[in-house]
């Protein structure tokens, strides 16, 4: 996968892209990153990328020209059109399902804005996706882009050591993940559930399914409204409700 990021603050990405799983993914050649300052694409002598909004009002608006030129430069001579992603509080709320969708692409271009907003023609005629990471406003799109890049790259084949890991993450299955424990079995008097020490893999798997349902029911019951429960899971959920 190729990932290009358009931003006015490229230095914000150096530590993130050069660390942990994101760095290992690039070393494994599963992905390559390039961060671009789109000020370099401005046709203004002074590198201006924003201007006052027509009709008046507070703040400055990012101009269409530098961003159009930057995206067109990055997309030219490519066999497959890129997904052009605008990080924006007005975009669709980001989900694991969207991460899985983007992980199938060959080329992603992220646009990270600042100031009051974008010239509307960027939305209408350039981008393919508008994404928000939550119902709050950040100073710019950089932190949101980092979140999306991380969530996508870890899904690429060969990036994580265990190919089953991303499949069992919270939200990937449609439910929240079950609790995890590691050694020691007794820490300050708090003990690991006996079932996990039993060696009975069938019962352990049943416990994990049930605890995943319990955690989802308590913390995110809205997920159960759309999750297709099996007959066994329905039975477990009824048991959970009686227990709690």
pLDDT digits (tens, 9 = 90+) for 23-79: 999 999 999 999 999 999 999 999 999 999 999 988 899 999 999 999 999 999 888
61-62 and 107-112 strand pairing: unpaired
Tell me whether residue 154 is one of the annotated catalytic residues.
Answer: yes
Going by pLDDT thresholds of 50, 70 and 90, the confidence category of residue 108 is very high
DSSP 8-state secondary structure symbol assigned to residue 222: H
Residue in 69, 100, 105, 169 annotated catalytic: 169
pLDDT at 165: 65
Mean pLDDT to the nearest integer, 171-191: 92
Would the pLDDT of 99 be above 60?
Answer: yes
Tell me whether residue 183 is one of the annotated catalytic residues.
Answer: no
| Pairwise CA distance, residues 164 & 81, whole Å | 30
Cβ atoms of 36 and 8 within 8 Å: the answer is no
DSSP H or E segment with residue 102: helix 96-102
DSSP 8-state secondary structure symbol assigned to residue 234: H
Tell me whether residue 206 is one of the annotated catalytic residues.
Answer: no
Is residue 28 helix, strand or coil? coil
Rounded mean pLDDT of the chain? 94
Residue in 82, 119, 154, 214 annotated catalytic: 154
Cβ atoms of 115 and 61 within 8 Å: the answer is yes
Residue in 53, 89, 150, 177 annotated catalytic: 89
| Pairwise CA distance, residues 170 & 96, whole Å | 9
| Pairwise CA distance, residues 118 & 61, whole Å | 5
| Pairwise CA distance, residues 37 & 24, whole Å | 24
- The whole model's pTM is what? 0.89
Is residue 127 helix, strand or coil? coil
| Pairwise CA distance, residues 111 & 123, whole Å | 11
Residue in 26, 69, 105, 116 annotated catalytic: 116
pLDDT at 163: 67
Tell me whether residue 39 is one of the annotated catalytic residues.
Answer: no
């Amino acid at each position: 996968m190729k990932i290009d990021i358009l931003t006015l603050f490229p230095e914000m990405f150096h530590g993130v892209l050069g660390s942990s799983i994101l760095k290992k993914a690039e070393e494994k050649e599963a992905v390559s990153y390039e961060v671009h300052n789109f000020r370099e694409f401005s046709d203004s002598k002074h590198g201006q990328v924003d201007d006052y909004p027509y009709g008046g009002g507070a703040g400055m608006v990012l101009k269409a020209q530098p961003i159009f030129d930057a995206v067109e430069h990055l997309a030219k001579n490519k066999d497959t059109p890129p997904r052009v992603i605008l990080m924006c509080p007005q975009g669709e709320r980001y989900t694991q399902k969207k991460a899985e969708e983007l992980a199938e692409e060959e080329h992603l271009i992220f646009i990270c804005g600042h100031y009051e907003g974008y010239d509307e023609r960027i939305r209408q005629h350039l981008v393919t996706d508008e994404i928000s990471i939550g119902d709050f406003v950040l100073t710019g799109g950089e932190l949101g882009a980092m979140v999306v890049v991380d969530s996508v790259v870890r899904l690429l084949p060969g990036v994580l050591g265990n190919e089953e890991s991303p499949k069992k993450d919270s939200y990937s299955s449609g439910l929240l993940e079950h609790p995890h424990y590691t050694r020691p079995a007794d820490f300050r008097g708090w003990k690991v559930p006996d079932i996990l020490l039993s060696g009975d893999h069938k019962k352990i798997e049943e416990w994990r399914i049930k605890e995943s349902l319990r955690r989802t029911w308590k913390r995110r019951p809205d997920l159960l409204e759309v999750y297709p429960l099996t007959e066994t899971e329905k039975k477990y959920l009824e048991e959970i409700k009686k227990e709690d």
